Structure 1
Amino acid sequence: MSSLITRVAGPLRRLRQHDESDFDYRLIAPMILGAMLNPINSSIIAVSLVPIGIAFGAPPAETTWLVSSLYLATSIGQPVVGKLVDSFGPRRLFLIGTALVGIAGVMGLFAPNLGVLIAARVVLGLGTCAGYPTSMYLIRSEGRRTGRDSPQIVLTILSMATQTVLAIGPTLGGVLMSAGGWRATFAVNIPLSVAALILGVLRIPKHTALQEEHQHRRPPRIDLTGIGLFAAMIIALMLFLIDISSRLWYLPVIAILAGGGFALRELRTGDPFIDLRVLRGNAPLMASYLRALLAATVSYAMIYGFTQWLEDGRGLTPTISGIVLLPLFVAGIAAAAVVGRRKEIRGKLVVAAVALLIACVLILFVRSDAPIWVLMVITGVAGVNNGLTSLANQNAVYYQAEPERIAASAGLLRTFSYLGSMAASAGQGALLRPTASTPAMHQLAIFMLIFAGLFLIMSLADRSLSRVTTAS
């Protein structure tokens, strides 16, 4: 454990040793705290779904909206807020977003019914959209300011932080539930919001190097039509994935029509919300987005589907289930710390995909009386992916995206990850019925294997990854 702490602390020490002309390490704290708000709230709810359902007399089909509502809000909000950060700078958007996180925490703390609780998750999803695009924007802006682009250490720290809290979320959720019940998993956002607001006010500059570069450009127009069509496409698609059924045939039709309208709008307008012309000519960036979707499908199926099986099929308490998922945290942060300073991206993705394949195969043979240590081995193997995939895709997007669109591009990376989460939810909804029994979990493992295999194939086939360097 001491060697692990040393690996994590090393990058921070090196940042502090830089002189004033290098990266401003004072930005690290608000960047990390802002970026972690979304992943921690994505996973902390995992062990709370069953107790919340009991408290409000709601079946799993209704409590699953506590997960889906946050992803719906975030999938739409991430690129929207990213576009606003690119256009108006990070400070205001960061402060508005983190204030919404605190409001959502209060709503969840006093929610009288499930409807209000779902509304709190929507507000939470929108509020957490600013953190990650702001962080990527600040890293790119600091490279412009210093003229010495050294993002490898900083990107590693950011990835380690976000993936750590994503993995440790269920464990933290179990601890909070033991201390204060499921409402504590919402209330924790109140002090987090206050801390982020204070750090944002004190440390995020009012004007950045990228803002100064673009200050002579005309004020950007907000493409409300494009945003509306994008939102309609995402909402219709995700609602269908949440509950795939022939009676909902109209949802994919709406998604296709809205998507077509969105594409036409963005290709014809002079100031698009998402410049599809740029994406169309940037195949490596699109490949990074697709890999993020595939990997996220498996990861979220593990976090939610496997956790549900731990409680239903294996009969563990929420607290013990959280402890079983703890190796996700240890393996993820260790993997990122070990390889974080290495430049290559492709190798990280291949190792991550192989780790996912191994974890899925192990789940295929797990039994309802499997020892705790076996279950922890499985989550530990899967945790290698958590540490490597986020770091590799984040580094790839940092270099593949245009500097003036870095925040929006980072937001889209998260959107594709949440599309993966919705695919995972669809798989869980179809396969873990009526309960998360062991045979049902085996079926879900086959579903996960397919996506992990596609992830590996895409990583091996993408030759452009070998050409990504640390040149900005």
Structure 2
Amino acid sequence: MNRVRNQWLMSAVGLGILLNPLSSSMISVAIARLQHVYELDFTKVSWIVFCFYLASAVAQPVMGKASDMFGRRKIFLTGLIVSFAASLLAPLSPNFGWLLVSRTVQSIGTSMMVAVGMAIVRIEVKEKQAAALSVLSMFMSGAAAIGPFVGGVMLQWGDWPAIFIVCLPFAAASFILSWRVLPKDAPATAAGTRSFRTWLEWMDAPGILMFTIGLISLLVGLLSAKTAGQFSWMSGSVCLLGIAALAVFVRRELRTASPFIPLRTFAQHPALTGVNVQYLLVNLLFYALFFGVPSYLQMVRHVSEFHTGLLMLAMGLSSLIASPIAGRWVDRAGPRPVLIVSAIMMTLGSVWLALLKESSPVISVCFALAAFGCSNGLNAVGLQSALFKSAPKSMIGVASGLFNTSRYVGTILSSLLTGLMMGGSFSFTGFRRLAMVLAVIGIAMVFMSLRHRDANLVQGSDA
């Protein structure tokens, strides 16, 4: 009976948490279509990517804390309602601005489920817990892997609104199952009875505000300067505002007792810092290609959305195949050789794309996509293992939070880099320039991986 209950609980949580990677990856094949529909340049339409990852970067740690106050069941069910409403309203957006609002709300809703889904399974599933958590990881990695293909099919079937509508049955099914199988939350703890002011301080609302203002200001300033072809006093002022806000953010995080991002941890644990920097660069490189290649195929090579999604399967399937291989390899040899091979494959994939010609067969892109997919599968396991080896046992939770933050910062920077390389329009020259920059980043990651020493990654034994 307990086994059957656990299976239903896993299904309820899995159907909910897959909405975040599915929603974020499907949009990669819809960027060209949205640019045409709303008559926008590439820089402006890129905000459909920015807003999702910005909201996720803020919402996931916030909702993780909020669940300690209000209960994980409440947060999970609320996330499903928010996600369902945003996915339903997005196709009705009268303009691109309202679509960005719906997309941001969708990101917050799906982040609520990701923030507490793993915790629910860790607490409620007592038997074969590691296997249960790996199943949830497969829900997320599988959704991200097939997202571009599903997006291409949806665009072929019902244009861009279909990539939001397809989320509705998943959210509805997860809500029905979750309502029946998720255990009721315990009575409110002392944290839940705090005053509103104390609650804001505990959540570090000022730090969240400065972090958000800083990132958005920098993005707006840099992208507007790139679009205009020069720095104006306006774009320069916005960039300075962003730098000032991030400086205030750093100063606050180093001093406050309950920081949004515990920056002191980086100074205290250099090995952990190295893992997070490498994870940031991995995501910068991977997502720059994850969103850049579909735009290249559609805008430069004039491949249909459906066939673009089909070609992108080379990346997703390669990642799924590489992940279990990486797990066995890490168990035998540690994370270092896995990370070295992964960095080399990312570098070779970037070089391959940089050497493409306008007349190169479209199918040749699959070689680079397969290399990036394999490297992504290797990194997912290798860097996770390096993280646990470099973090003291007493702060594994904090380390995991920092790890996720590094991922989102990397994805945000990937979109910024792509926007800066392209400017107003996606071109073959800009794509080649992007690939060259990514090849340099890949080489840097090779040297970072070579510096990994399993002997140094033993701080996890410290209490």
TM-score calculated relative to the size of structure 1: 0.83
Residues 1:235 and 2:192 aligned together: no
> Where does structure 1 lack aligned partners over 5 or more consecutive residues?
1-15
**Aligned-partner residue type, residue 68 of structure 1:** F
**Aligned-partner residue type, residue 453 of structure 1:** I
| Aligned residue number for residue 431 of structure 1 | 421
**Aligned-partner residue type, residue 61 of structure 1:** T
| Aligned residue number for residue 449 of structure 1 | 439
Residues 1:58 and 2:45 aligned together: no
SS in 2 for 1:129: helix
Please give the alpha-carbon distance, in whole angstroms, between the structure 2 residues aligned to 1:469 and 1:335.
26
2:162 is matched with which residue: 178, 184, 191? 184
Aligned residues with identical type, % of pairs: 27
1:467–1:347 distance in 2 versus 1, CA, 3 Å: farther
Residues 1:129 and 2:103 aligned together: no
Residues 1:200 and 2:174 aligned together: no
Moved more, 155-164 or 447-456: 155-164
1:318 is matched with which residue: 302, 305, 312? 305
| Aligned residue number for residue 249 of structure 1 | 236
1:369–1:216 distance in 2 versus 1, CA, 3 Å: closer
Please give the alpha-carbon distance, in whole angstroms, between the structure 2 residues aligned to 1:271 and 1:397.
22
| Aligned residue number for residue 170 of structure 1 | 148
1:83 touches 1:405 (CA, 8 Å); kept in 2?
A: no
Deviations 1:36-86 (A, max 9, x none): 222211121122122223323333333222111112212222222233235
2:48 touches 2:100 (CA, 8 Å); kept in 1?
A: yes
| Aligned residue number for residue 373 of structure 1 | 363
1:398–1:50 distance in 2 versus 1, CA, 3 Å: same
| Aligned residue number for residue 225 of structure 1 | 206
Kindly state the Cα deviation for residue 149 of structure 1 after the two structures are TM-superposed: 8.7
Please give the alpha-carbon distance, in whole angstroms, between the structure 2 residues aligned to 1:48 and 1:441.
18
Please give the alpha-carbon distance, in whole angstroms, between the structure 2 residues aligned to 1:405 and 1:133.
17
SS in 2 for 1:130: helix
**Aligned-partner residue type, residue 280 of structure 2:** L
1:242 touches 1:422 (CA, 8 Å); kept in 2?
A: no
| Aligned residue number for residue 110 of structure 1 | 92
Kindly state the Cα deviation for residue 336 of structure 1 after the two structures are TM-superposed: 0.8
2:210 touches 2:246 (CA, 8 Å); kept in 1?
A: yes
Kindly state the Cα deviation for residue 444 of structure 1 after the two structures are TM-superposed: 1.0
| Aligned residue number for residue 9 of structure 1 | none
Please give the alpha-carbon distance, in whole angstroms, between the structure 1 residues aligned to 2:222 and 2:178.
36
Corresponding residue pairs, total: 446
Aligned-residue CA RMSD (Å):
3.4
Moved more, 458-467 or 324-333: 458-467
Kindly state the Cα deviation for residue 332 of structure 1 after the two structures are TM-superposed: 0.5
Please give the alpha-carbon distance, in whole angstroms, between the structure 2 residues aligned to 1:74 and 1:168.
20
Residues 1:264 and 2:242 aligned together: no
**Aligned-partner residue type, residue 107 of structure 1:** L
Choose between structure 1 and 2 for higher RCO, CA contacts under 8 A separated by at least 6 residues.
1
1:239 touches 1:251 (CA, 8 Å); kept in 2?
A: yes
1:237–1:58 distance in 2 versus 1, CA, 3 Å: closer
Correspondences of 1:81-160 after superposition (within 5 Å): 81-86=63-68, 88-138=70-120, 141=123, 146=126, 151=130, 153-160=131-138
Please give the alpha-carbon distance, in whole angstroms, between the structure 2 residues aligned to 1:358 and 1:468.
33
SS in 1 for 2:29: coil
> Where does structure 2 lack aligned partners over 5 or more consecutive residues?
none
Moved more, 456-465 or 303-312: 456-465
